[in-house]
Amino acid sequence: MPRFKLIIEYDGGGFVGWQRQANGPSIQEALEDAVLAFSGETTEVAGAGRTDAGVHALAMTAHIDLASDRFEAKRVRNAINFYLRDHRISVLSAETAPEDFHARFSATRRRYLYRILNRPAPPALEAGRVWFFPRPLDAEKMADAARVLLGKHDFTSFRASHCQAASPEKTLDALEVSRVGDEIHIRAEARSFLHHQVRNMVGTLGLVGEGKWRAADVEKALAARDRAAAGPTAPAEGLYLVDVGYVGAPGC
């Protein structure tokens, strides 16, 4: 049974998230329907993560198993994209993968980008793809506060109340803040993240950027191990899954 590794780009607007759900269209559902349409096979498209409603991906990794061995990787990519033409989803690449490869469990790191449009005028072209924040933000102070969160910690204060992870402990390998023109970019990297962890960290750093909090307040919130102690959850539309790393892949 051939296994294919897929790299997928998508706009999360209009979807309930990656995972198939009964309350609306999902990325996973659209992909599985496309696979069924070209192959006649019902199979799970297993993703490296479960992005929320409105969250985008530049390079989500997934895998599928097909019973038939008549499909080459290039044909798999092109056929899926043909049936996805009415969706803002694109399979960037497809390649055969070992039987023991798993998009989620084989992953060694995940990288996210959060985009804040920080200017007085609202977005026209980037609406739904950035967090529009019209008040001034100090990116340097945000960057200083972000360093408090680096390393291994109990991230309960930055975890969604309905997070299903077995432990709140995670190791944050990178959390970088920089200004790029009118935007502030926040880049986060870890082996895995808690539900809403990145968005909750961004919302908290936003308080620092506004001058309402200092780095010491972020440190205090982290130590509290209480979601109510940290800042608000940043909107989903500014978040992008940048890529997923695996053993032997560049940068891993």
Three-class DSSP labels, the chain:
CCEEEEEEEECCCCCCECCCECCECCHHHHHHHHHHHHHCCCCCCEECCCCECCCEEEEEEEEEECCCCCCCHHHHHHHHHHHCCCCCEEEEEEEEECCCCCCCCCEEEEEEEEEEECCCCCCCCCCCCCEECCCCCCHHHHHHHHHHHCEEEECHHHCCCCCCCCCCEEEEEEEEEEEECCEEEEEEEECCCCCCHHHHHHHHHHHHHHCCCCHHHHHHHHHHCCHHHCCCCCCHHHEEEEEEEECCCCCC
**Rounded to whole angstroms, how far apart are CA atoms 230 and 220?**
9
Which of 52, 138, 154, 173 is an active site residue?
Answer: 52
Instruction: Give the length of the chain.
Output: 252
52 is catalytic: yes
Active site residues per annotation: 52
